[in-house]
Amino acid sequence: MSGARMSGRDAIVALHAARGARDVVITTMAPARDWMTLPQQPLDLVFVPSAMGHATSIGLGIALAQPERRAIVCNGDGSMLMNLGSLASITGAGASNLVLLVFENGVYEVTGGQRTAGTHVDFAGLARAAGFASVFELSKLEDWTARIGDVLAARGPVFAVLKVEPAAGVPGPKSPGPARERARRLMDALRG
Amino acid sequence: MSSLFSGEQIAGVLDELGITHVVTVPDSTIGQWQSAIEDRGRARLVRVCREGESWEVAAGLYLAGARPIVMIQCTGLFESGDAIRNVLHDWKLPIFAIIGYRSYLNQETLPGDTCLVFTEPILDAWRIDYRLLTEPTQLAAIAEHHRACASEGKPGAIVVAEGKA
Ligand SMILES: Cc1ncc(C[n+]2csc(CCOP(=O)(O)OP(=O)(O)O)c2C)c(N)n1
């Protein structure tokens, strides 16, 4: 199976194990669904409910307010396509502590797996052109697992495309609880 | 003067309010304030590509302890709908905005500009408590309204009448 794409869930499990204790991790769409199945930490922002496309923007805000903390954003490819300008906003603002992971499955997985308009898009190329300092493209789980430390520690802003298999028939993420309370807990963790 | 307020006046108000970041897409009126805000060196300008981003960037800043403000044109308010819904109503974050009201003072550039039709109904629809400023004497209302909204922990906006596009 060495040519096979990793599953999004396996990629998330590997990230969960590798994230640093002070990192804030922002997840949306299928990555949020998979992240929620793992033990949660106060510095997790499960961005559900979301405005589609804006996980990158909320991550940028957190990264700018706390430049000494790493902000890791796990985004869907459809969501990325919806807010491509945020690539320029991130690099333009010099958010060197931001790590953006795009889970490229070619579809809108959580709405039933419809094809996106951008299956031909070279996300890594877009990120390079937008000025990300380090850009990675990984499709095998063993490569992601081996390189995840390098990705997180690379000169930022960092962009990594994780080419993943869409999970068919798995329901989308459900809100893990009242957003206002979760916002308050995250604020305490970030400001504490 | 082509703007009700000068950049120095706006920068002074932002300073007084302890604003740390101004998340913005400019227009020809509010864009004139950028250099004064930067010259003062207290609030940082965060330039985004579309206004929907501005609310979510401000949300992230706010969650992480900064004091952001959104500064956009009313056209950008129209562009921002889903982000406003998410930030102000799902997550209930008290983000404050200064919004330029295109064509309010004259419609020479864009006769019949529909911004005049939709700006205030849209603010009402999004349940944003706003104050419309139409005179240069109303500068103090910006800080007053910001403080009132902050003390209640709710979002709000100042809408600044503009003369051109
Ligand atoms: C503005 C907007 N348009 C459409 C939707 C419907 N919608 C919800 S999730 C989703 C797909 C997300 O796709 P992607 O970001 O690729 O993540 P994946 O589901 O593949 O993990 C869509 C289209 C929405 N919530 N908001």
The pLDDT tens digits for B55-88 are 999 999 999 999 999 999 999 999 999 999 999 9
Q: How far is B99 from chain A (nearest CA, A)?
A: 20
DSSP for B113-147?
Answer: -THHHHHHHHHHHTT--EEEE-SGGGTHHHHHHHH
CATH of the domain at B77: 3.40.50.970
B2 part of a folded domain: no
Q: Which of A168-172, B18-22, B40-44, B120-124 has the lowest mean pLDDT?
A: A168-172
Residue A3 is predicted with a pLDDT of 64
Residue A119 CB less than 6 A away from ligand 1 = no
Residue B2 is predicted with a pLDDT of 72
Residue A34 CB less than 6 A away from ligand 1 = no
Residue A78 CB less than 6 A away from ligand 1 = yes
Residue A95 CB less than 6 A away from ligand 1 = no
B153 part of a folded domain: yes
Is A61 close to B93, i.e. CB distance below 8 A?
A: no
pLDDT of B165 strictly over 60 = no
**CB < 8 Å from B in window 9-68 of A:** 24, 45, 49-54, 57-66
Is A183 close to B56, i.e. CB distance below 8 A?
A: no
Residue A115 is predicted with a pLDDT of 97
Residue A1 is predicted with a pLDDT of 44
CA–CA distance, A62 with B2 (Å, rounded to integer): 35
> Ligand 1 atom 7: the closest Cα is on which residue?
A111
Q: Are A51 and B52 in contact (CB under 8 A)?
A: yes
The pTM for the full model equals 0.97
Q: Is B52 on the interface with A (CB under 8 A)?
A: yes
Q: What's the domain range around B88?
A: 7-161
Is B58 close to A62, i.e. CB distance below 8 A?
A: no
Residue A102 CB less than 6 A away from ligand 1 = no
B76 part of a folded domain: yes
Question: Which residues, at least 6 apart from A166, have a Cβ–Cβ distance to it below 8 Å?
Answer: A8, A105, A106, A107, A109, A113
B115 part of a folded domain: yes
Is A51 close to B64, i.e. CB distance below 8 A?
A: no
CA–CA distance, A87 with A131 (Å, rounded to integer): 8
Of the candidates A98, A84, A76, A86, which has an alpha carbon nearest to the alpha carbon of residue A32? A76
Question: Which residues, at least 6 apart from B114, have a Cβ–Cβ distance to it below 8 Å?
Answer: none
Domains, chain A, ordered by start: 6-135+144-191 (3.40.50.970)
Is B53 close to A88, i.e. CB distance below 8 A?
A: no
Which of A64, A83, A84 to mutate to test binding with chain B, by most B CBs within 10 Å of its CB?
A: A64
Confidence of residue B1 (pLDDT cuts 50, 70, 90): very low
Q: How far is A21 from chain B (nearest CA, A)?
A: 16
Residue A23 CB less than 6 A away from ligand 1 = no
Block means of pLDDT (10 residues each) for chain A, length 192 residues?
A: 83 98 98 98 98 98 98 98 98 98 98 97 98 98 98 98 95 94 97 88
Q: Which of A65, A93, A186 sits opposite B66 (nearest CB)?
A: A65
Q: What is the mean pLDDT of residues B136-147?
A: 98
B1 part of a folded domain: no
> Ligand 1 atom 4: the closest Cα is on which residue?
A52
Q: How many domains does chain B have?
A: 1
B99 part of a folded domain: yes
Residue A30 CB less than 6 A away from ligand 1 = yes
CA–CA distance, B142 with B153 (Å, rounded to integer): 16
Confidence of residue B109 (pLDDT cuts 50, 70, 90): confident
Q: How far is B86 from chain A (nearest CA, A)?
A: 6
pLDDT of B140 strictly over 90 = yes
Question: Which residues, at least 6 apart from B126, have a Cβ–Cβ distance to it below 8 Å?
Answer: B81, B84, B85, B88, B89
Q: Is B127 on the interface with A (CB under 8 A)?
A: no
What sections of A53-95 are H helices per DSSP? 55-65, 77-82, 85-92
Q: How far is B138 from chain A (nearest CA, A)?
A: 31
Residue A63 is predicted with a pLDDT of 99
